[in-house]
Structure 1
Amino acid sequence: MSVLPPGIDAATFARALDEFRAAIGAEYVFASDNDRASYLDPFDIGEQDAHATSAALAPAGVDDLRALLAVANRYRIPLWPVSMGKNLAYGTAAPAMRGTVVLDLKRMNRVLEVDEELGTALVEPGVSFFDFKAELDRRGSGLWMSGPSHSWGSVIGNALEHGVGYTPYGEHVEQICGLEVMLADGTLVRTGFGALEGTREWQAFKWPFGPGLDGMFTQSNFAIVTKMGLHMMPEPEGMAGVSMSIPLREDYAALIDTLRPLRMTGVINAPYTIANGWRQMTGGRTRSQVYTGEGAVPRERMEELLAERGQGWWSLTFNLFDSPEGLDLKLSKIREAFAASLPEATMEVRRWRKGEPQQAWMRQDVSLAPLGVVDWGGNPGGHSDFGPVVVPIGERAEQVYAIIERRFIEYGKDPWIGMFGISSRALIFVADMFYTRTDAGDTARCRALFRQLCEDMADIGVGLYRTHIRFMEDAARMHRWNDHALPALNNRIKAALDPNGILAPGKQGIGTWEDGE
């Protein structure tokens, strides 16, 4: 069934498609049913057609992009830019607003610069983590890429969406240094020192004369990012991979309070991850292989499964980076801290030294392994997550954890809850909802659960770090302070930069939501 952009009739859209074809070539305008189906969200929490695109366009560079924007502005056709469209669990390439034309940037796929002296790089949107790692290996680079859990997504897209890695550079948005963006009217702008001709400093320093605008173009629909500079980590002298098991559910607050000073002082100098018992219990199995009853897997059954494998209620993993001697000191301090607060915790350590072959546990090799859990609850499976940001103070983290666990069980979902200690002062929760995509009742239950949790978190002053396209307006609505002044400011910026509203309508709720709707 054909889908049209909002407010555009079939004849007008046909004329616009012809102009798009004239601008970039007919082979890069995708409007058949099969083409459009390839941009649907495979993990949508409900009816995929609710976020169907009317067509997709694949420009090769900024000249193509400018030509497409001219057509889109002329006909008021909304565009949904995607770097690779692999943002799994958050909507992939599907647009928030049904009928929006996908602007697929994967043909813009060059690694433009790798500066070994300064430890920086400049990339285009279509560069995946697989591509980037291959290019670094081809160059024999002494710089390390910080990769996410799965690696077929875009380096730019992941950073713009506040993605996470496992090295000291794992807060990817913090590594952005200098963007090239195209505004809705086709104007090309370089932020920071990129505004100077012939600069060497574009990727070196984040704070130029005047406002630093890089953050404005993350998780927004104010412009299209066409190039991104990023800081990269020089290869370390050594690395240690630490795995810990903490026995009791009641140990959670003490665990968070033990980790906080270690992270703030740099003893733990990369993000850590925590998994609760439900998140650990699979062992490579599906849900029906471990429990066949109704509702969430009971705590007693989950604890039986953990006991079979000798696992504690909490799993903690992180990597350390330093010289071999420095790693010895870090590990000694970590052991001392846990001996004082959680003496029953156990620790395993793996070591790597510069010059040795890299190993999978290092998270420097690229991978798709985490996708294997999608069919946990049923086939065809899907998943999304609820991701609040919380200070790493035991009492506060326990408050948030308890609400999420209780709501998941109340709604009959297994509380697969984990956390990233992404920075020294913030935890990002990742509470995964697994569902059978063909089960309307199951997906409806997940939607209701998500929206209930939005209300719960807003009531205690906790917000989200990102969300699926279905819930972007729900997440925006959580920012209640001063009569939703921040979402209102975002709308004002949007109106100034994109008066026709053609760039990614609905993204982060910007431009499509107002209080009371």
Structure 2
Amino acid sequence: MTGSAATGPLLPGLDPAAFAAALADFRVAVGAQWVFTSEADRASYLDPFAIGDPQAHAAAAAVAPATTDELALVLAAANRHGVPVWPVSMGKNLAYGTAAPALRGSVVLDLKRMNRILEINEELGYALVEPGVSYFDFKAELDRRGSRLWMSGAAHSWGSVMGNALEHGVGYTPYGIHAETICGMEVMLADGSLVRTGLGAIAGSREWQVFKWPFGPNWDGLFTQSNFAVVTKMGIWLMPEPEAMAGFTISVPAKGDLAQLVDTLRPLRLDDTINATYTIANAWRQSTAGMQRAELWQGAGAIPEEVVARHLASRGRGWWNVIFNVFDHVPGGIDLRIAKIRQHFAAHMPQATITHTSWKKGEPQQPWMRQEVSLAPFAIVDWRGSPGGHSDFGPVVAAVGERVTQVYDLIERRFIEHGLDPWVGMFGMGGRALIFVADMLYKRDDPEMTAACQRLFRTLCREVAEMGVGLYRAHITFMDDAAAMHTWGAAQDTSGGGAGALPRLNDRVKALLDPGHILAPGKQGIGSRRP
């Protein structure tokens, strides 16, 4: 699908002639068939889970380069004509805006044609990939090779291996903090120049993907969740196949047990007995399994607590449910982990009910292992009815029971006040923090419900910031709100805008690396205010 004329929204103040000239240059750079301007094409880049009017983040067009040479030509044209571009890998960051730009009228820079798996190194356990490599593609290539390396997949497999790591995505193996598995990038700056980070800066390096901390600063983190450059290649570490693993489910009966549960899990995760991400789900989150909301509750507002409690009791489930896998590379090691987890809970939380399932190398893989690619998480989208959508509020909270309960209680209360089911999970990705995923499940065509979600998110931003809590990521609609939570050092803002020291630093780096402000304006709130 292609179109010859641009009918999308233009940025205020952008000369239509300049935009038309940019499109002409894009066509020369990548071929006319890879510049998308028709209404149908542009609609394919809208946020399918938009929290309100999807046109609020509509793109003016899209362009899809296949090589770094083509990408450089696109960026040169964007700079020349003052047309901002919004880079996406696969554009499947569902619940956070997918491919839609934060700034309406930007041109989507679609990188899915840059889709080569450049290397999989079995000896050293790493891969080098381009932006358009999906989890489906990557798993298929590992299987084709008969690789003994395991990838850490995201909740759904439609998206990009690179994009998920850059957006701080999560998996369920010991390598599940995907940003921490990044080692070495190639990035293109706004002026079209290429830079290789880390040991990739050494011509002919064979160590680019094996060590994060070479001479000088580590720049890889600077290019995650930012708009400072376009990442064109990325190294990622992979896990050797384990000797054995076990999948745990822990059910905890009472709502008031949350603090005790957090304090019981923390030492097991901190000492690496539990060596992968664990997920705590509250009662509302558990209630969605295999059901539609109308089967449980048809009244107004959030499903009442007593209704949820009765439903869980009928299924023999407690108020809190924890799931996680543990892994070991030593024969017999998994049995020691299982025993320690059971003994620890027996001593510190005897009211919990624990079940586990085991797997050993050579046995057929099972769904609970999360080693197969899947789109299963999308089953929740129509919980409130079709057309459904979801996004989430994601604060990062110290893994201390009292602190977690304080934040949880606020979130649950505000969700109920706004008429939304408090569908809350918490990820224990490391031993020291929990990342909340408080999902807002809504009907996209219900303006009152989506307006309530926007009010809820912004209310929670203000209130948890007052508690000293920040977020780990946010939907494009709320990126400025999330950035505004970083208020430390605001008194030093001589511009009078009241921005914190970190947002000001981000804006200064943005101005240096992208003076034309053409790369993803507004992403993570960076550059929304000029320094």
Task: State if a TM-score over 0.5 links the two structures.
Answer: yes
- Whole-angstrom CA distance in 2 between matches of 1:168 and 1:321: 8
State the partner residue of 1:163. 169
State the partner residue of 1:300. 306
- Whole-angstrom CA distance in 1 between matches of 2:70 and 2:398: 44
Matches within 5 A, 1:351-390: 351-390=358-397
State the partner residue of 1:391. 398
Deviation of 1:9 after TM superposition, in Å, equals: 2.5
Of the three residues 453, 456, 461, the one matched with 2:460 is 453
State the partner residue of 2:144. 138
Does the 8 Å CA contact 2:8/2:42 hold for their aligned counterparts? no
State the partner residue of 1:508. 524
State the partner residue of 1:400. 407
Does the 8 Å CA contact 1:5/1:101 hold for their aligned counterparts? no
Indicate yes or no: 2:198 matched with 1:192: yes
User: What's the secondary structure of 1:150's corresponding residue?
Assistant: coil
- Whole-angstrom CA distance in 2 between matches of 1:34 and 1:475: 32
Indicate yes or no: 2:45 matched with 1:39: yes
Moved more, 318-327 or 468-477: 318-327
Deviation of 1:282 after TM superposition, in Å, equals: 2.0
User: What's the secondary structure of 1:390's corresponding residue?
Assistant: strand
User: What's the secondary structure of 2:425's corresponding residue?
Assistant: strand
Deviation of 1:378 after TM superposition, in Å, equals: 1.7
**CA displacement 1:67-114 (0-9 Å, x = unmatched):** 001100000100000000000000000000000000000000011001
AA matched with 1:68: V
Q: Provide the TM-score with structure 1 as the length reference.
A: 0.99
- Whole-angstrom CA distance in 1 between matches of 2:22 and 2:342: 64
Stretches of structure 1 that go unaligned for 5 or more consecutive residues are none
Deviation of 1:324 after TM superposition, in Å, equals: 4.6
Indicate yes or no: 2:91 matched with 1:85: yes
Of the three residues 452, 469, 477, the one matched with 2:484 is 477
4+ residue runs over 6 A deviation? none
**CA displacement 1:206-246 (0-9 Å, x = unmatched):** 01100011000000000000000011100000010111111
Indicate yes or no: 2:213 matched with 1:207: yes
Matches within 5 A, 1:110-509: 110-322=116-328, 323-483=330-490, 484-509=500-525
Structure 1 pair 132–103 and aligned structure 2 pair: CA distance change class (3 A): same
Of the three residues 75, 83, 99, the one matched with 2:81 is 75
User: What's the secondary structure of 2:207's corresponding residue?
Assistant: coil
Does the 8 Å CA contact 2:8/2:61 hold for their aligned counterparts? no
Indicate yes or no: 2:70 matched with 1:54: no
Deviation of 1:308 after TM superposition, in Å, equals: 1.1
User: What's the secondary structure of 1:173's corresponding residue?
Assistant: helix
**CA displacement 1:301-346 (0-9 Å, x = unmatched):** 0001101111000010010101351111111111111111211211
Deviation of 1:356 after TM superposition, in Å, equals: 1.4
Deviation of 1:418 after TM superposition, in Å, equals: 0.4
Moved more, 71-80 or 5-14: 5-14
Does the 8 Å CA contact 1:39/1:93 hold for their aligned counterparts? yes
- Whole-angstrom CA distance in 2 between matches of 1:315 and 1:121: 35
Does the 8 Å CA contact 1:473/1:513 hold for their aligned counterparts? no
Does the 8 Å CA contact 2:8/2:37 hold for their aligned counterparts? no
**CA displacement 1:41-82 (0-9 Å, x = unmatched):** 010101011100000000001000000011000001000000
Deviation of 1:5 after TM superposition, in Å, equals: 3.4
**CA displacement 1:275-324 (0-9 Å, x = unmatched):** 00000012311111110111100000000110111100001001010135
- Whole-angstrom CA distance in 1 between matches of 2:246 and 2:112: 35
AA matched with 1:407: R
Deviation of 1:363 after TM superposition, in Å, equals: 0.8
**CA displacement 1:169-202 (0-9 Å, x = unmatched):** 0000000000000000001000000000111110
RMSD: 1.0
Does the 8 Å CA contact 1:251/1:342 hold for their aligned counterparts? no
Does the 8 Å CA contact 1:144/1:234 hold for their aligned counterparts? yes
Does the 8 Å CA contact 1:6/1:100 hold for their aligned counterparts? no
User: What's the secondary structure of 1:81's corresponding residue?
Assistant: strand
State the partner residue of 2:496. none
Identity over aligned residues, as a percent?
A: 66
State the partner residue of 2:107. 101
State the partner residue of 2:4. none
- Whole-angstrom CA distance in 1 between matches of 2:221 and 2:511: 18
Does the 8 Å CA contact 2:96/2:476 hold for their aligned counterparts? yes
Does the 8 Å CA contact 2:279/2:427 hold for their aligned counterparts? yes
Tell me the matched-pair count. 515
AA matched with 1:161: E
- Whole-angstrom CA distance in 1 between matches of 2:461 and 2:488: 15
- Whole-angstrom CA distance in 2 between matches of 1:459 and 1:428: 18
AA matched with 1:403: L
